[in-house]
């Protein structure tokens, strides 16, 4: 360790067996982990490095960036806090590593570049290329860049933020350009340099020089252009940014971080965490109070005496969640009942969430929206709200309408669900904006038998309701004693299957730990005079369909259009079609045909004719179960395993905390108490 920081050294190597014994003994003793990445060597490089005490990672794909990426992925599995890179040919002196580390450890610098002295040993082409790219970066980002030296050190936090994708010689320039793009703290320090011991693939061959120059310039220009248009939010800039990077690099980086948290046994087919989503964030303290007195609730008895946080405090949570989830991440505007907040502040909260690059979903019981539909219109028209989740079930106590207040069977609330559907359709017409709706249902033994009926009711209005989340009750907050017992996932999904008329795929999807969530996506077929039919979106037991889905996630994982207007969405989609035309032609279109044939027992042409004549309509629908934990479950080994892979988190005092920990371990109660202690007397009195 170097001044209480764990240090890792990554050395990409290709046919460097003769040079490794020259520099490996000079690696300082404070380095905790030396990793030599054997990049398809043919001279025993890996064996020599292993004999010298280094850890060896083998990567078959040739390329400087491929080797560095493999080494970085390996090191990030451990606990190293600072990561150093250097070449394996003996041109860098590892004994000078302290020069790179001191600024990071002592001054909180994030990236230190070793500026090479003695570059007279380079060819003229190398010197010219280095100066050209450095000048390009300097002009592009407005900050001086003296060298692209491979001997460099970076903090773990920075490297986890950077979506490094180059697998050739552009790796070094890409790292510096991306660090400049995110305004990282960068320092350049002098280091010695000499020609390498082994022959260089770059300096020794003119083809190598050209290939390296091409990679360096291409990556530099790409980052400069993307960074410029990211910083300038004009209409044209937005369109060009969508074309250049249809899936944002920060989103890809967030997905990679999420994937690393998953144990290998949960990372197979059907897993969407780390493939499509990085997780889901939620606010806490936005409005602790609620005007309902439900039989099951994660809020404690103290909640109605806690004043809400101001918008600036919530901005800090939003920023932290944006850093975790990346652009287009899911943010639940939740806590108690957020519609009790001042209407102007609620609209502004939605706007700030979208401005931060997140997709806000307002979580509400909806009672105020039924009484004041203009508020929902304003949230959509002014705030930009596009998603809302309505909590409707018989555990709730407090609805104003007598038709709903005393419901004891879920079927008695079907009319309420239909009234919400009418409201949403009206808001869509009046605003001309999309508004998608989810609904949450708390499940216990008393209403389990009503689950199938809820599903059937929602299928009929699937043009409005796009998702239903069934949540077996957990023994947290002010939940009635004994109410949270006895509903397993298997029991719940048997009832869901009844509601879907048996149309369940053999293998469900998951977002994170399989004990935490389960979902089934599909299309709802509507024909006049017939009961709506649910069709699973794909069959994961079909090897061809499963392979296509996995390949699609590799190419399109993280893609979202939810923050786009129509033109931006078209540009983003067109860019992806151009980039992946062979896959779409050879795999995507055949898969669509197979899926369409499943929907068309009378023939594909007949189905197409019915769609054209509006005799049939298909709506997307997703059935989800979310399984929250009580304190007893949380304290088990399985419970701790679930927390470690949690996809649903809040930010408390700057720390990401799983929702189960917040509710079952008293973290929410403690945070509320902290809010109360910091609030003025008038704020506390106003919330009582």
Tell me which residue of 405, 406, 404 sits closest to 416, measured CA to CA.
404
Q: Is residue 686 part of a domain?
A: no
Return the H-helix or E-strand segment holding 439: strand 436-443
Q: 437 and 526 share a domain?
A: yes
Q: 207 and 259 share a domain?
A: no
Q: Is residue 189 part of a domain?
A: yes
Under 8 Å between Cβ of 40 and 59? yes
Under 8 Å between Cβ of 500 and 451? no
Q: Is residue 1 part of a domain?
A: no
Under 8 Å between Cβ of 281 and 590? no
How many domains does the chain divide into? Answer: 2
Q: 43 and 117 share a domain?
A: yes
pLDDT in tens, 36-63: 999 989 999 999 999 999 999 999 888 8
Please report which residue ranges of 93-205 form alpha helices under DSSP H. 97-107, 124-141, 156-161, 171-181
Under 8 Å between Cβ of 433 and 386? yes
Q: What angle do CA 502, 506, 512 make, to 5 degrees?
A: 115
Q: 450 and 314 share a domain?
A: yes
Q: 188 and 64 share a domain?
A: yes
By residue range, what is the domain housing residue 360?
252-268+279-678
Tokens 């037991």, located at residue: 541
The burial class, CB within 10 Å (0-12 / 13-18 / 19+), for 586 is: exposed
Q: 440 and 480 share a domain?
A: yes
Q: State residue 539's pLDDT score.
A: 76
Q: Is residue 2 part of a domain?
A: no
Q: 318 and 461 share a domain?
A: yes
Could you give the C-alpha distances from 536 to 345, 439, 502, 620, 621, in angstroms and in order? Answer: 40, 20, 10, 10, 9
Q: State residue 140's pLDDT score.
A: 83
**Exposure pattern of 36-63 as b/e (b: 16+ CB <10 Å)?**
bbbbebeeebbebbeebebbbbebeeeb
Q: Is residue 639 part of a domain?
A: yes
Q: Is residue 244 part of a domain?
A: no
Query: Which parts of the chain register pLDDT below 50?
Result: 202-204, 206, 681-682, 685
pLDDT in tens, 144-189: 899 989 999 999 999 998 988 888 888 888 999 899 888 889 999 9
Q: 90 and 174 share a domain?
A: yes
Q: 291 and 372 share a domain?
A: yes
Q: State residue 121's pLDDT score.
A: 62
What is the Cα 467 distance to its own chain's centre?
19
Q: 162 and 198 share a domain?
A: yes
| CATH number of the domain enclosing 453 | 3.20.20.70
Q: Is residue 177 part of a domain?
A: yes
Q: What angle do CA 503, 627, 675 make, to 5 degrees?
A: 140
Tokens of residue 94, six digits: 């590892």
| CATH number of the domain enclosing 192 | 3.90.550.10
Tokens of residue 350, six digits: 């939605």
Q: 206 and 352 share a domain?
A: no
Q: State residue 230's pLDDT score.
A: 61
Q: Is residue 182 part of a domain?
A: yes
Q: 263 and 211 share a domain?
A: no
Q: State residue 199's pLDDT score.
A: 57
């Amino acid at each position: 360790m170097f001044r209480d920081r764990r240090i890792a050294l990554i050395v990409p190597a290709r046919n460097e067996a003769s040079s490794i014994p020259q520099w490996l003994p000079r690696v300082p003793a404070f380095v905790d982990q030396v990793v030599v990445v054997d990049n398809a060597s043919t001279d025993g490089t890996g064996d020599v490095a292993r004999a010298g005490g280094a850890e060896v990672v083998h990567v078959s794909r040739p390329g400087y960036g491929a080797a560095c990426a493999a080494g970085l992925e390996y090191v990030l599995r451990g606990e190293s806090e600072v990561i150093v890179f250097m070449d394996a040919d003996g041109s860098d002196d590892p004994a000078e590593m302290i020069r790179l580390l001191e600024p990071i450890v002592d001054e909180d610098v994030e990236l230190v570049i070793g500026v090479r002295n003695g570059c007279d040993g380079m060819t003229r082409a190398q010197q010219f290329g280095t100066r050209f790219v450095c000048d390009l970066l300097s002009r592009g980002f407005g900050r001086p860049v003296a060298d692209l030296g491979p001997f460099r050190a970076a903090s773990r936090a920075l490297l986890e933020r950077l979506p490094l994708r180059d697998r050739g010689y552009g790796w070094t320039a890409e790292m510096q350009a991306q660090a400049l793009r995110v305004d990282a703290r960068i320092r350049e320090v002098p280091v010695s340099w000499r020609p390498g011991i082994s022959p260089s693939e770059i300096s020794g061959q003119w083809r190598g020089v050209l290939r390296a120059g091409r990679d360096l310039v291409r990556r530099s220009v790409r980052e400069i252009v993307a960074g410029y248009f990211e910083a300038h939010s004009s209409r044209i800039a937005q369109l060009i940014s969508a074309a250049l990077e249809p899936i944002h690099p920060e989103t890809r980086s967030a997905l990679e971080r999420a994937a690393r948290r998953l144990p290998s046994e949960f990372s197979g087919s059907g897993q969407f965490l780390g493939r499509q989503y990085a997780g889901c964030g939620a606010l806490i303290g936005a409005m602790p109070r609620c005007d309902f007195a439900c039989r099951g609730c994660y809020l404690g008895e103290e909640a109605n005496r806690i004043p809400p946080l101001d918008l600036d405090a919530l901005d800090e949570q939003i920023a932290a969640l944006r850093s975790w989830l990346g652009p287009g991440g899911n943010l639940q505007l939740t806590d108690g009942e957020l519609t009790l907040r001042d209407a102007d502040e609620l609209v502004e909260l939605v706007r700030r969430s979208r401005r931060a690059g997140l997709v806000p979903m307002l979580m509400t019981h909806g009672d105020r929206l039924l009484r004041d539909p203009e508020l929902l219109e304003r949230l959509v028209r002014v705030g930009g709200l596009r998603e809302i989740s309505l909590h409707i079930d018989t555990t709730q106590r407090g609805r104003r309408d007598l038709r709903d207040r005393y419901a004891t069977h879920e079927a008695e609330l079907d009319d309420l669900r239909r009234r919400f559907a009418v409201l949403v359709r009206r808001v869509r017409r009046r605003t001309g904006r999309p508004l998608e709706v989810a609904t949450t249902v708390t499940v216990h033994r008393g209403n389990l038998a009503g689950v199938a009926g809820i599903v059937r009711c929602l299928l009929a209005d699937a043009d409005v309701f796009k998702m239903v989340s069934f949540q077996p009750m957990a023994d947290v907050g002010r939940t009635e004693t004994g109410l949270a017992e006895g509903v397993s996932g298997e029991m719940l999904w048997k009832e869901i299957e009844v509601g879907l008329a048996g149309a369940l795929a053999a293998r469900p999807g998951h977002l994170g730990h399989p004990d935490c969530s389960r979902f089934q996506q599909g299309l709802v077929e509507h024909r006049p005079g017939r009961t709506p039919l649910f069709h699973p979106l794909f069959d994961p037991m079909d090897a061809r369909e499963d392979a296509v889905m996995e390949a699609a996630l590799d190419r399109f994982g993280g893609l979202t259009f939810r923050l786009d207007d129509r033109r931006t969405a078209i540009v983003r989609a067109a860019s992806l079609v151009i980039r992946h035309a062979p896959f779409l032609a050879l795999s995507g279109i055949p898969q669509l045909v197979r899926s369409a044939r499943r929907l068309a027992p009378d023939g594909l042409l007949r189905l197409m004719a019915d769609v054209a004549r509006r005799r049939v309509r298909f709506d997307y629908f997703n059935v989800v179960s979310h399984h929250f934990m009580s304190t007893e479950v949380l304290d088990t080994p399985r419970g701790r395993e679930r927390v470690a892979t949690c996809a649903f988190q809040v930010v408390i005092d700057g720390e990401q905390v799983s929702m189960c920990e917040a509710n079952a371990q008293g973290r929410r109660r403690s945070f509320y108490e902290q809010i109360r202690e910091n609030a003025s007397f008038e704020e506390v009195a106003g919330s009582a």
